[in-house]
């Protein structure tokens, strides 16, 4: 027997966190019975359905690095009809049930990982593993050493104090910042807290991965060595 949300995640439906939401919403059944308990367990040989569709455990794990352009949402479907990052993958992965690891907001761009490996997704976004993500932000507003030091020490946001960040001034209006948290629009909010408005935000590194050789709107599959290193970083 295994936790139900883990089985759903391993099937490539969504991350464990999203699977928990599906369970609470009553969208998951086991042998025809609606399950609403987060601690519920099941056997993968039982008939498990999400929204009435039987679960299929994916035989092959897929790992994709995408250079996300602005104007795309980091989700599988969008209720408002906006373009999603899955559209950039074309027909090659339309039936593979890959989904984004974390998110880049509509107007942010850069490195985004997509996979059907729910266990790896959970490890990469879980705070305790402190997976580093590096961004470059083009800003307006005066950035001083004092403000940089505040960012390095941690900024008080409406959802609490951020962890210390690695921050470098690359030019008059260009900042590079590395964080290991995954709060909503965190980099934008951190910079806004010191009086700087982000005009352009691009993620250039996620753990050991960079955008080298991948054009805007393009993607590639990760190598076996890259996947192994990702899994090593998240243990």
First to last CA, the chain: 23
Residue numbers annotated as active site: 105
Question: What is the pLDDT at residue 86?
Answer: 92
Domain annotation for the chain: domains and CATH numbers: 2-54 (3.10.290.10), 63-126+212-233 (3.30.70.580), 132-206 (3.30.70.1560)
More confident residue, 25 or 11: 25
Tokens at 128, concatenated = 């305790």
Mean pLDDT of 18-37: 93
Q: Confidence band (pLDDT; 50, 70, 90) for 94?
A: low
108: left (phi over 0), alpha (psi -120 to 50) or beta: beta
**DSSP structural state of residue 232:** H
pLDDT digits (tens, 9 = 90+) for 174-208: 999 999 998 999 999 999 999 999 999 999 999 99
pLDDT digits (tens, 9 = 90+) for 117-144: 888 888 898 888 899 999 999 999 889 9
**DSSP structural state of residue 44:** T
115 touches 98 (CB < 8 A): yes
163 touches 196 (CB < 8 A): no
Q: Confidence band (pLDDT; 50, 70, 90) for 90?
A: confident
Q: Look at residue 106 and tell me whether its pLDDT is greater than 70.
A: yes
Residue 10 CA neighbour count, 13 Å, CB half: 11
Mean of pLDDT over the chain: 91
Q: Look at residue 156 and tell me whether its pLDDT is greater than 80.
A: yes
Q: Confidence band (pLDDT; 50, 70, 90) for 63?
A: very high
Angle in degrees, 0-180, between the axes of helices 224-233 and 118-125, rounded to the nearest 10: 50
**pTM over cut 0.85:** no
């Amino acid at each position: 027997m295994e936790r139900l949300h883990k089985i759903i995640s391993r099937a490539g439906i969504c991350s464990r966190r999203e699977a928990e939401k599906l369970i609470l919403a009553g969208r998951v059944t086991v042998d025809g019975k609606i399950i609403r308990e987060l601690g519920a367990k099941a056997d993968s040989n039982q008939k498990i359905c999400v929204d009435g569709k039987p679960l299929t455990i994916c035989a092959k794990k897929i790992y994709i690095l995408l250079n996300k352009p602005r104007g795309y949402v980091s989700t599988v479907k969008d209720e408002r009809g906006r373009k999603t990052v899955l559209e950039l993958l074309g027909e090659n992965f339309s039936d593979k049930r890959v989904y984004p690891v974390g998110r880049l907001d509509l107007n942010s761009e850069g490195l985004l990982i997509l996979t059907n490996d729910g266990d790896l997704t959970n490890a990469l976004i879980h705070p305790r593993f402190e997976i580093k993500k590096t961004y470059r932000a083009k800003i307006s507003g005066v950035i001083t050493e004092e403000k940089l030091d505040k960012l390095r020490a941690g900024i008080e946001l409406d959802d609490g104090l951020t962890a210390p960040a690695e921050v470098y001034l690359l030019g008059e209006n260009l900042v590079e910042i590395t964080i290991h948290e995954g709060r909503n629009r965190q980099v934008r909010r951190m910079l806004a807290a010191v009086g700087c408005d982000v005009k352009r935000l691009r993620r250039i590194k996620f753990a050991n991965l960079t955008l080298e050789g991948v054009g805007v709107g393009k993607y590639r599959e990760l190598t076996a060595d890259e996947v192994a290193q990702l899994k090593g970083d998240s243990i």
